[in-house]
Amino acid sequence: MTPEQARRAITEALSQIAPETDPGSLAPDADLRDALELDSLDFLRVVETLSERTGQRIDEDDYPQLATMASAVKFLAAR
Partner 1 sequence: MPVLGADMDEGTLLEWLVKPGDQVRRGDAIAVVDTAKSAIEVESFHTGTIDRLVVGIGETVPVGTVLATIAEPGGEGARAAAQPEAQPARKRPPRKSAARTRQRRQPVAAGEALPGTASPPVRHLARQLGVDLAALTGTGPGGAVTRADVQREAAARAPATKPVIRPPQPAAGTVAARQPVTPLARRVAAELSIDVAALTGSGPDGAVREADVRRALSAARQLPQQAVAEEAAVTPAAAGGPPTRPAAPQPATRAPAGERVQAMRQAIGRLMARSKREVPHYYLSNTVDMASAMDWLHQRNRELEVTERLVPAALLLKAAALAARQIPQLNGYWEDDHFTPGAAVHLGVAISLRGGGLVTPAIHAAADLRPAELMTQLRDLVTRARGGRLRRAELTDATITVTNLGDQGVETVFGVIYPPQVALVGIGKIIERPVAVGGLIGARPVVVTTLSADHRASDGYTGARYLAALSELLQRPEEL
Site of interaction with partner 1 (CB under 8 A) = 1, 5, 9, 11-12, 15-16, 18-20, 33-34, 37-41, 44-45, 47-49, 51-55, 58-61
Task: Tell the smallest beta-carbon distance from residue 60 to partner 1 (Å).
Answer: 5
Asked whether 49 and 55 are in contact (CB, 8 A), the reply is no
Task: Tell the smallest beta-carbon distance from residue 26 to partner 1 (Å).
Answer: 16
Residue 31 DSSP SS3: strand
Task: Tell the smallest beta-carbon distance from residue 19 to partner 1 (Å).
Answer: 5
- Start-to-end CA distance of the chain, whole Å, equals 7
Residue 20 DSSP SS3: coil
